[in-house]
Structures are given as structure tokens and as C-alpha cells.
Structure 1
């Protein structure tokens, strides 16, 4: 929300003329940009299922579909080459409204330009934002971003677990309306980190859901948009308080340790994935389960897996809270979910979860608390995820579970 400034000296100077003036108009949002969709970037890796990140692209068109949480009359995108070793050459791109799958709506395809040019080169470790494109999008509508990568890219900066289909075609197909050429698909996003809109009717609250795979949406339906942040945005809109809810979850992410598989630690990426987003009002913090659980399992993908204590996690939470408060952001702490029956679960991990959750509930360190653990637990065994909400691995919710999590967030806390 924009702060309301009352300048008493100016009112006195204006005198009676000011008193008789008409009420000021609503702020013009035509030039104000809101992040309507974003996703954290990761190192190229094999991920949880086959993807194209390690091989990259050459003479191929990549078509990516994202659902925006806020609407407007203009759109622009940000492309990230953060973790790539090579320059990224975008030979051309378009943005359009989505029909279904890789098909786009007739007469809505707009060229993506960068400082007026049809192509752009992004240096390793850098990012670039496109010019504004005239494209009307409604809240919860899907937009399709299509990029032609003519030259070999090398391994690609990406987000592994998108739970949304990304499509690929041989050659240049950025202007295609139909899906015919797009014969391959994965469930990851490549290079695309943000989509912003301007010209919307309101200046919405912006909430960032920050965490690991439970925030990212493991166990939700591919192309279903039923992760808990999605469900929260829909619930707030239905309640008459529409808000932009951004998903800053990474599957497997840890709070205190970096991983080539699961991204930089939560503490290291917090500034980039939360504090740098424009207009953030609130962050919901849900994380630490992997820090606790990885040390209980001896698998290559779970390394590094140091033995992390509840006290170390709590110190990390305190650091993150302080940084958010310094930025003027409200911080909501979320309790860790039960996971009895999962490969992480031992007497040791269960004790750490209880200690962390007790601190989240009682310390007063957070501005507010959402007790996901209490909502998601089996009434007959509070250490176990309710079977109605279990995706099948005993630690990740299904779509019904994510809806229950969204319903548990106190609107007043936001």
C-alpha cells in the first residue's frame, strides 16, 4: 500500500482555496509496475524429473505459461541468467494471452522488445527486463511467454519444480498461435523469473510466500495452479481483499545450507527473492524441515546434510525477521508440518520439529503466526499428516491440503 502523507504546512499555506478544492483523484497506476508472478532461480541441475536445464537450448523455441495474480493493461518480463556460465542470446520473443496448453489467443500476440530491439544478450550472472507490451490481463489469467533461442545457450538458469507445462519446438515459432510445433514439454521454467503488470485498477497488497517444496507446491497438480500460495490468493480475492501472492518456494531448499540441487540457502536468497521485489508488504516464512530432515537420510541429493539443531534454525529465523523488519515488511511465521511416516522422520527430527514449533508459537518474534502444523495434523496422531491432506509421501500436502493451509492464514495478520 502507498503511505498517505498529510503535509500540515502545505494545508495552512493553501488556506481557504485548499479547503474549497475538490477531493484529490485516485493515484494513477498507469506507470506503476506490480510483480504479478515471480519464481526463484536455481542452478542448472537434473532436478526431480527430466528437464532441459543441463543441456540448454539451440535453435529452439521455448513457450512458458504463467498465471498472474494481478491484472493490468501492460506487461513486461524479467529474464535471469544468474547461474549460467555463458551469455544468453534471445533472438526474439513474444507475450500473449493463453488459450490452453501451448495455444495462444488470436490477435493478442505482442513482440517482446528490449530497449526497442527485438533481441538481447544477457551476460552471465545478469538479468534483463523487457520493454512494456500492451497486453490486457485479468487477475488469475494465464500469459504465455515465448522465446526463440537461436544460438547454443549452455546450461540454463531455471526453476526446477514449476508444476506447470513448458513447451519446446525446433526452430523459430515465437509467432505461432497454435500448439502444433510444440511437441515436447517439461514442468520447469527457464530463464523467466518475473512478470510485471501496470495499468491495473488497484494497488494491491503484496504477500510473498517463502519456503521450500511445501510452498513451491510439491504434491499439487501440474497445470492446476493449486499450490497453497495460489489458493491463498484466490481466497483473499473471494473475501473481497484481493492481494498479489508471490511464490518464493524452492523444492528441497534449506534455510542454513546451500545445495547445488535445491538452491542457495533461504538466508542467502532472502534479499533477492523477497526484499528486492517492489512493494512487498508481508512475507510468510515456512521452512526448516529439510535442514532437520536431510541429516536423518543418507542420500547423495540430500547433501550437504549437517546436523542442524533447533537453536541454529531459530537463530536463522531471527536474522531473517530482523532483515524483513528493517525493510518495513510484516513477517508471519508458519509452523512446520507433521511428517510421521516420511523418510525424514525419526525421534530426533520429531523432537526438533516440536522445539521449533513451540518457539514459533510462543516467542513473539514474528508479527503473527499461522499454525499449519495444528491444521494439517491427523487428529488421532498429531505427529502424522492428516490422510485427507497427504499427497502420499507423508510430508507433502495434496491440493486439498494446500487449500486447508490457505484457509488457515488469518487475513488480519496480512
Structure 2
């Protein structure tokens, strides 16, 4: 076993032991008394769309149960969730909800199954455009453990607020199976998340604050393996734990997202969603800004989904980055800038887009406007061609890394800078 893995196992075991001790010694302790709530897992929300693979967002749900599996990078003894109806056209009715430690797939650990309540009630309605956070539920989770969040949606939901590219299996069953322990009823799957925006924990070991990895599909994890948690933010969290500086790492990526332009398929722009997906997350200390490839590339291709696709200039992207840096700093959040990856051979690689990438990367490396810089380009570039991904790291489309490439990106980040 590698030293990395040994340290990681020790870190998780130690954190779990601390949490168990807290449960044993404070059986009457309320969540408010155990410490501050911190975001342990989150994803950005999007409006219903076709996505990159089949999903259930446009059809929504009616008399169905949705079970979602999420892996936290921060542990604790109590959990609560935030559900979003941000893009809903009508009231979202949650008829029942539960949370439990995952037992693999759609199965749950029966000893940990807990009802989720909202203001003391089992059912709740969420208005269009609104979000709601549940009451606390006792649930012991160590960092890198997975929980299931199960929602019974009795009434028709209409198009579902969701996150398209989850790279994790979500399960659906007909009827009410919110309390089910087995997986027999959950016969349908997708790789998207629905309505679930955040999982927060309290009662865990203190850390130095969360890191939000903020960006597009390369942050979201396109090219990683479903249910394997090997996106670059996942691997960064593992690396930080292995080096003895465990941190929550939140994935703020949306596939196809742009810095400057909103998209019906790929979410509100990075500028427009920054408050919601970074600044309001509990416990954030650092944001890692990584994006612009789609702003640059979409204008080189005439495809229906690559709209809007204005000809975005490098000075426009720089000004947008300056705005994000300033907003983060005013909120007391440290900012790490990341260079864009090479993409020769991809569908929107041209001499024009390549020149823009080179110019923007030079500014990121040399401007001095970030608190620190990570050179992702250098970490994954083909040694024989500075415009191309290293073939060993190429997922096959010449712009998204595979799991090995995401590992190389995580390894390029100096833990002291985040």
C-alpha cells in the first residue's frame, strides 16, 4: 500500500474516532451546541435540460422516489441538506425525505436511516426560485464516506432543478420508498443530481476551511469514472488528507459553463453564480478559479448547444477574473488561479483559440493578481507538443483529462497555497 493511501486511511479513521467519541460523550447534545455548520458536499444547480446523456430533469417526477448518493469530504455527527427549486415553474412538494449512510449502490445502512424534517414536519413545499434547508439529523459520517439522500415526490414536480453531470448514480423507484433499506425498487438510474444542492455537517474535527474548485466540465469531472470519485477536486481532497492537512473540497464546476455568458444548457455564467456557488457556502477559505476554455472555444464552432457564442476577447476574460478576485477578497476568501489546458485536436481548437489560451495563461502566470497560481497546463501538456494534452492523460476528446490526468492536476497544487 502506498504511503499516500496509508496516511489517508489514518486520517479518515482518526476523524471517525473523534466523531464517535462525540456521539458517546454527548448523547444529549443538540446540533447547535456541537459546533459550526460547514458545507461538506455541494453542487451548482442548473435549469432542466437535455444534458450530455439521458436524464430525468425535463420530465420531472410524480409519485416517485429519488435516491441520491453523495460522498462528503468533511465529516461530523449531524447532517442537514438544502433542496433547491431555483428553476422550478411551480411549487416543489417534498412528501418525505430520509438520509442514511450508504451501503453501496441504492442500499442504505439500516442502523443509520433517519427521517429528514423541515421545521419539524415530514413534508414541505418549496416555492419557485426558493431553497429550503432541513432540520438536523443525527448521522455519523467520516470524511470520504458516502450518504444517501432519498426524496419521495408524490405530486408532479414539473421540470426539475438539477445538476446535469454528476458522474454518480442516482436511483428512481415508483411509489414511496423513502424508508427502503434494500435496492430492489430502485430500477432506474441516471448520472445527474436532482434538487439536492448541499449537505452540511456539524460535530466533526476542525479544519482550516473549505476549498471551492470553481469552473466548467474539467472541474465537474468530464472524463472521470462514474461512481469512482476521481475528478480532480476529489483527488485534491485525498491529497490534502494524505499530507496531513485535511480540507473539505467542494466541486463548483458545471459542464459547458462559461465565465461571461449564461446558457440554457450549461448554467448561469461563472460571474453570475459566484455569490451562490462560492461566497455563501459555509466555511469556505479558498476558491480555485479555473475556466474560460468554453468562452474561447464556443465561438469557433457552430453547434446549437454551443450558444450563446460571442467572440470573447482575452481582455474581457481578464476583467471578469479581476471581478471574481475582488469579490472573493472582499469576502475574506483566498484566490488561486489556474492555467487553461491545451486542447489541440478538440472540436473547437483553432489557431485563434490556441492564441487566446496562450495569452490568457501568460496573464494568469505573471499578473500577480492571484494569491497563488497552479499551472494545470504544465501538469498535463504533451512534452512533444505544447498545444496538446499528454496522450496518457487524454480522455479521448483531446480537451478533457482522464482520471490519471485529474490526478496529475491535483498533484500540481501546492497544499500550502490553498
Q: Structure 2 length as normaliser, TM-score?
A: 0.92
Q: Name the counterpart of 2:215.
A: 211
**Unpaired stretches in structure 2, ≥5 consecutive residues:** 1-31
Task: Check whether the contact 1:255–1:267 (CA below 8 A) recurs between aligned residues.
Answer: yes
Q: Which residue of 1 aligns with 2:123?
A: 119
Q: Does 1:285 align with 2:298?
A: no
- Other-structure match for 2:61: 57
Alignment of structure 1 residues 15-414 onto 2, 5 Å: 30-414=34-418
| Number of the residue aligned with 1:11 | none
> Using the alignment, how far apart are the partners of 2:184 and 2:161 within structure 1?
26
Structure 1 position 203, deviation (Å): 3.6
Q: 2: distance between equivalents of 1:29 and 1:137?
A: 18
* Inter-partner Cα distance in structure 1 for 2:151 and 2:128: 18
Partners of 1:29 and 1:201 within 8 A in 2: no
Please give the secondary structure, in 2, of the residue aligned with 1:352: helix
After TM superposition, give the deviation of residue 29 of structure 1 in Å: 7.0
Contact 1:29 1:202 in 2 (8 A): no
CA–CA distance in 1 between the matches of 2:68 and 2:144?
Answer: 16
Residues in 2 aligned to 1:364 and 1:32: alpha-carbon distance in whole angstroms: 34
Question: Aligned equivalents of 1:237 and 1:278: distance in 2?
Answer: 20
Shift of 1:264: 0.4
2:212 touches 2:278 (CA, 8 Å); kept in 1? Answer: yes
CA distance in 2, matches of 1:220, 1:297: 25
Structure 1 residues 68-92: Cα deviation after superposition (integer angstroms, max 9, x where no partner): 0111000000000001111000000
Work out the number of aligned pairs and report it: 387
CA contact (8 A) 2:208 2:285 kept: no
Measured against aligned partners, the alpha-carbon deviations of 1:340-367 in whole angstroms (never above 9, x if no partner) come to: 0000100000000000000000110111
Rg larger for: 1
SS of the equivalent of 1:69 reads coil
CA distance in 1, matches of 2:164, 2:360: 28
Q: Unpaired runs of 5+ in structure 1?
A: 1-27
Structure 1 residues 141-179: Cα deviation after superposition (integer angstroms, max 9, x where no partner): 000000000000000000000000000000000111000
Contact persistence 1:29–1:203 (CA under 8 A): no
CA distance in 2, matches of 1:115, 1:318: 41
Rounded Cα–Cα distance in structure 2 between residues aligned with 1:203 and 1:301: 41
Task: Describe the SS at the equivalent of 1:281.
Answer: strand
Work out the CA distance in 2 between the residues paired with 1:154 and 1:236.
41
Distance 2:33 2:306 in 1: 45
Cα distance in 2 for partners of 1:203, 1:131 equals 24
Rounded Cα–Cα distance in structure 1 between residues aligned with 2:89 and 2:56:
16
